[in-house]
Structure 1
Amino acid sequence: MSQFWERYVLPGLNQLNLSARSVGGKATGSLLWKRVTFLVATPVVGLCMINAYRSIEEEKKEKDLRQPFVKYEYMYRRNKRFPWGNGERSLFHNPDTNALADGYEL
């Protein structure tokens, strides 16, 4: 951990004139972007992963509270059967979220 601190953090702080002690050399170009990647981008990606996981968990809870099926004239109209399976389900049919013409599958 101390090598990481001395190699990446302290030189970056030195550029901002916030260093706790003097570290020789000034980071330029690729070294600066390497520090930005490890110190900024990696934590941001981790936070996005946590956010995505939490939203998936919320969707799982809401899945049980699915809206009741209402048969409208203009929805689920089939002029021609699908060329696969029994012709009722679309190619990417999900029985938990997609209803058929008669309602949700059990």
Structure 2
Amino acid sequence: MAMSPTAMVARRALAAASQGSHEGGARTWKILSFVLALPGVGVCVANVYMKMQAHSHDHPEFVPYPHLRIRTKPWPWGDGNHSLFHNSHTNPLPTGYEGPHH
């Protein structure tokens, strides 16, 4: 069965349109990366830097709430009072913060 000339023209037009719509995809994403993504990362870095500058490095006041830092049995490592990922600058023990920054 032979195609009519109109159908052949329509098929060529659809093929050309579908091929042409995908040619600029990589270029579009490259432009979006430079115009949107990189400045967005820059704004995030600036925000973190400003928050670090304004952040106080003092401990908050320790309040020994009875429902926090409950030890029913000691941890199986170290002295039994420090968690595995204990950070003495940010994590208080049941008795308060350790070190000279009380």
Identify the TM-score tier after normalising by the shorter chain: 0.5 to 0.7
Is 1:63–2:50 an aligned residue pair? no
Deviations 1:4-48 (A, max 9, x none): xxxxxxxxxxxxxxxxxxxxxxx8221121111112211111111
Max Rg structure: 2
- Which of 77, 88, 94 is the aligned partner of 2:81? 88
Structure 2, unmatched stretches of 5+, are: 1-22
Runs of 4+ in 1 over 6 A off after TM superposition: none
1:1-106 pair list within 5 angstroms: 28-59=24-55, 62-64=56-58, 66-106=59-99
Structure 1 letter corresponding to 2:74 = R
TM-score, length-scaled by structure 2: 0.66
CA RMSD of aligned residues (A): 1.7
Structure 1 letter corresponding to 2:89 = D
Q: Relative contact order (alpha carbons < 8 A, sep ≥ 6): 1 or 2 greater?
A: 2
Work out the CA distance in 2 between the residues paired with 1:89 and 1:77: 12
Q: Which residue of structure 2 aligns with residue 7 of structure 1?
A: none
Structure 1, unmatched stretches of 5+, are: 1-26
TM-score, length-scaled by structure 1: 0.63
**Number of aligned residue pairs:** 77
